[in-house]
Amino acid sequence: MEGAPAPDVRTFRDLIAWQKGVRLSLLVYRLTKRFPDEEKFGMVSQMRRSAVSIPANIAEGYGRGRRAEYIRYLEIGRG
């Protein structure tokens, strides 16, 4: 089937996009610790939420159980 995941992809955790999203989130948290306190509720918050949303959307879409919704959440994560 065209567009089907590789046979070794069993869950969202096997997706490279999810794995890279988790690594990005950890990196963003580490880097934003060094930001000034006055940025905690501005730039730091926005950067952290956007980084975490990538793997979160992939996982949520997978948990929906329907292929169409999974694809929709993958697209949201990509955005």
Q: Please name each of the domains of the chain with its CATH number.
A: 12-78 (1.20.1440.60)
Task: Give pLDDT, residue 23.
Answer: 98
Displacement of CA 36 from its chain's centroid (Å): 25
pLDDT at 6 over 70: no
Task: Give pLDDT, residue 3.
Answer: 55
Task: Give pLDDT, residue 76.
Answer: 87
For 4, 11, 23, 34, 46, the CA distances from 29, given in Å and listed in that order, are 33, 25, 10, 9, 11
Q: How many CA atoms lie within 13 A of 4 on its CB side?
A: 6
45 vs 20: CA distance, rounded Å: 20
13 vs 51: CA distance, rounded Å: 16
pLDDT tens per residue across span 15-62: 899 999 999 999 999 999 999 988 888 999 999 999 999 999 999 998
Sign of torsion over alpha carbons 41, 47, 51, 53: positive
Task: Give pLDDT, residue 4.
Answer: 56
